[in-house]
Structure 1
């Protein structure tokens, strides 16, 4: 669950303030804001659809462990975000990349939750299915809270760095999971 919490928190650390990032940091004129948000929405839609393909790569924890490089890429993209105002085109591409990474964890994490439930607690499959949504909502709250505090005390420009730390949290939890599984310790 921590992978999903940190992953959603990383995403919503910037997504909560997406419109101000687009207008104030990247310089998208107000009249084109809807178009920019539509492009980001389409990239996020692709992310959600591709998530299902990632979930098809193995069973149990295999699909989500395969996301380690993607969380590291998300951390890099978030770390670049503070420099978006210096090179607006880079900022726009960076936001599109972040939108493409946004929901890749959804289906692989669902596979993990249901695999654990099927193996250890077969009567709790419905609860296992809801755990993913619960973890995602906790992550949204965490990311929005952290970005709100960062926004208040440091400004809009620094949201990406806090998100990068959260993305590294997801990668770190997955590395721990991979390590325990390689030692033969079950999830």
Structure 2
């Protein structure tokens, strides 16, 4: 994942008052704690985010409302910028918006009933929300649905409704195609 994705993840956790810290950021994105701290410093110093550390909760929080710019860029994003900067008409704008949208992850809340399922979905799980409930993020709907369908355990999609409906439609199609 690039720095843009990590900053967006961090921002979302700060807005939700989840008190993220460098260790959790490093674990989530498989980066060093030092790189995670640089991401937090970038958000605070370069982007002017009003971030403070709460020692009791061992994490950061926003001291006042803050919004990220529409598009964050990093050295790795140079290949996308010329195409986005050349927006000339409504068709180009729609295409550019889809490029930006692809970088923003989808979110879902799942209810998982056993530890093995939790381990299998670890790449998607961002936080534990309560008893058996987990927040997940994913960039590819098809890949995430495939992961859910391939689970050998019970689970429930709590939200969003559109994802639950799509999962049900996929399961119904699979069952229909297996009839003699």
Q: Which has the higher contact order (CA 8 A, sep 6+)?
A: 1
- Could you tell me the TM-score, scaled by structure 2's length? 0.30
Write 1 or 2 for the structure with the bigger share of helix.
1
Work out which of the two has the higher radius of gyration on C-alpha atoms and give 1 or 2. 2
- Could you tell me the TM-score, scaled by structure 1's length? 0.29
